[in-house]
């Protein structure tokens, strides 16, 4: 699976890239910039809360060595566009910024309680924000290849491995050149935030659905039996997925497996009776198989669908009249009168006469007479 879509310009990705390179132009290799714009978790008497927050933000855009900068920007340039395309520019920017801030927050927390010796050392770089994108991408694109060059697609996990390697090299460079420490806790905080936001935005579910669609297309090419087998596999994890139940019905119907087709329709009627304009109930009615649905369930569904799908509601109530007479029969007749008295008076009177003649002693009959005297008159 690939994600190449040049139709939409990845504006958020481009803006973030430009901000990072612009900051690098003014600060790259400048240790004074680290002190001024980097985030220092330890107490600084001359820095207020507002200024501390500003440096938490600015620290995400400055780098002190080219290896660190290029490593982060490589991943951002390669994986940013597909992530932005599916998440949207607002969510993409949110993952980047919130991931960066979460990483800085965790680094500050660990500096206070664990890495006390590093509390006075400033931290800078986009690594925590990039790690958030890594977390998001791993959940959303675990099957995807991304375009690197024309006709060259690379698995996303390979890009992530390169990014990790460059982070290690960048960390060694920083330690040797500047004597600072690499914010591994910041990376972890950003990564976890990215994963959390991916779960919040339903990224994994979307990817799962896309993978299923691709798998179904491959199965359809092999025939209806393969399509049905694929649908059954999906239903083991998503037993109420309406479209998959439709796929299973279509497969069973195509190969003449009527029993399996009816079971699929019955399951669909239970999972989502209104799906595709009442698809399951219509098909069951065509097969005179609505009796597969319990009477109490048919009465309830008929009432629920009366306003949105009145014809489906009528199918359900009529099917109860086809069953052997029971205490539910007058209930179905009353429901039909209620459904049709305004739109089809003739049909409503027909059911009223049937109710009056065949179930005159039922309590529902007297209630119906009082409610619609013109229909019974």
Strands 152-155 and 145-149, sheet pairing:
antiparallel
pLDDT higher than threshold 90 for residue 141? no
pLDDT at site 346: 94
Q: Which domains does the chain have, with CATH numbers?
A: 11-205 (1.20.1540.10), 223-292 (1.25.40), 294-377 (1.25.40.10)
Burial code (b: 16+ CB inside 10 Å, e: under 16) for 297-334 equals ebbebbeebbeebeebbbbbbbbbeeeeeeebbbbbbb
Average pLDDT rounded to a whole number, residues 342-367: 94
Task: Classify the C-alpha dihedral 241-243-245-248 as positive or negative.
Answer: negative
Write 349-355 long-range contacts (CB < 8 A, 24+).
Answer: 349/375, 352/376, 355/330
Average pLDDT rounded to a whole number, residues 83-91: 92
Q: How far apart are CA 225 and CA 248, in angstroms?
A: 9
Cβ–Cβ under 8 Å, residues 138 and 35: no
pLDDT higher than threshold 90 for residue 203? no
0.75 surpassed by pTM: no
pLDDT at site 178: 46
Cβ–Cβ under 8 Å, residues 334 and 367: yes
pLDDT at site 176: 52
Cβ–Cβ under 8 Å, residues 221 and 240: no
At 204, the pLDDT band (50, 70, 90 cuts) reads: confident
Choice between 344 and 214, residue whose per-residue pLDDT is larger: 344
Residues 249-291: tens digit of each pLDDT: 999 999 999 999 999 999 999 999 999 999 999 999 999 999 9
Choice between 120 and 54, residue whose per-residue pLDDT is larger: 54
pLDDT at site 354: 95
Average pLDDT rounded to a whole number, residues 9-26: 92
Q: What percent of the chain has pLDDT over 90?
A: 48
Cβ–Cβ under 8 Å, residues 137 and 83: yes
Average pLDDT rounded to a whole number, residues 171-182: 51
Nearest to 192 by CA among 131, 114, 101, 105: 131
pLDDT at site 45: 44
pLDDT at site 298: 96
Average pLDDT over the chain, rounded to an integer:
85
C-alpha torsion angle, residues 47, 49, 51, 57 (rounded to 10)? 130
3-state SS of the chain: helix, strand, coil percent to 5?
A: 75, 5, 25
Q: How far apart are CA 63 and CA 249, in angstroms?
A: 58
Give the Cβ contact number of residue 143 at 10 Å.
14
Q: What percent of the chain has pLDDT over 70?
A: 87
pLDDT at site 52: 75
Choice between 304 and 237, residue whose per-residue pLDDT is larger: 304
pLDDT higher than threshold 80 for residue 169? no
pLDDT higher than threshold 80 for residue 55? yes
Flag the least confident range among 72-86, 283-297, 349-363.
72-86
Q: What are phi and psi of 129, to 5 degrees?
A: -65, -40
Q: How far apart are CA 352 and CA 347, in angstroms?
A: 9
pLDDT higher than threshold 80 for residue 377? no
Q: What are phi and psi of 159, to 5 degrees?
A: -60, -40
């Amino acid at each position: 699976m690939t994600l190449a879509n040049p139709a939409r310009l990845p504006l958020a990705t481009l803006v973030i890239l430009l901000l990072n390179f612009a900051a690098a132009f003014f600060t790259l290799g400048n240790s004074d910039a680290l002190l001024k714009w980097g985030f220092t978790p330890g107490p600084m008497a001359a820095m207020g809360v507002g200024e501390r927050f500003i440096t938490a933000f600015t620290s995400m855009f400055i780098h002190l060595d080219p290896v660190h900068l290029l490593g982060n920007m490589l991943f951002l340039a390669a994986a940013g566009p597909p992530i932005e395309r599916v998440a949207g520019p607002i969510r993409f920017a949110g993952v980047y910024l919130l991931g960066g801030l979460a990483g800085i927050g965790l680094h500050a927390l660990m500096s206070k309680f664990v890495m006390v010796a590093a509390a006075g050392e400033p931290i800078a770089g986009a690594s925590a924000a990039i790690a958030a994108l890594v977390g998001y991408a791993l959940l959303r694109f675990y099957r995807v290849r991304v375009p690197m060059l024309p006709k060259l697609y690379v698995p996303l996990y390979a890009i992530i491995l390169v990014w990790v390697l460059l982070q290690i090299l960048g960390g060694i460079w920083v330690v040797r050149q500047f004597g600072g420490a690499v914010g591994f806790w910041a990376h972890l905080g950003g990564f976890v935030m990215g994963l959390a936001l991916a779960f919040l935005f339903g990224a994994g579910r979307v990817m799962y659905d896309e993978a299923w669609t691709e798998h179904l297309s491959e199965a359809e090419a092999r025939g209806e039996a393969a399509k049905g087998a694929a649908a059954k596999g999906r239903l083991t994890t998503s037993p109420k997925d309406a479209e998959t139940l439709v796929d299973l019905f279509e497969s069973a119907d195509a190969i003449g497996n009527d029993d399996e087709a009816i079971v699929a329709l019955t399951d669909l009627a239970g999972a989502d009776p209104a799906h595709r304009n009442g698809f399951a109930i219509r098909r069951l009615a065509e097969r005179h198989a609505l009796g597969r649905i319990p009477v109490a369930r048919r009465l309830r569904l008929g009432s629920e669908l009366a306003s949105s799908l009145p014809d489906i509601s009528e199918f359900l109530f009529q099917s109860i009249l086809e069953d052997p007479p029971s205490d539910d029969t007058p209930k179905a007749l009353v429901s039909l009168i209620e459904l049709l008295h305004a739109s089809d008076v003739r049909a409503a009177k027909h059911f009223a006469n049937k109710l009056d003649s065949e179930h005159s002693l039922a309590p529902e009959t007297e209630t119906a007479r009082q409610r619609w005297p013109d229909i019974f008159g």
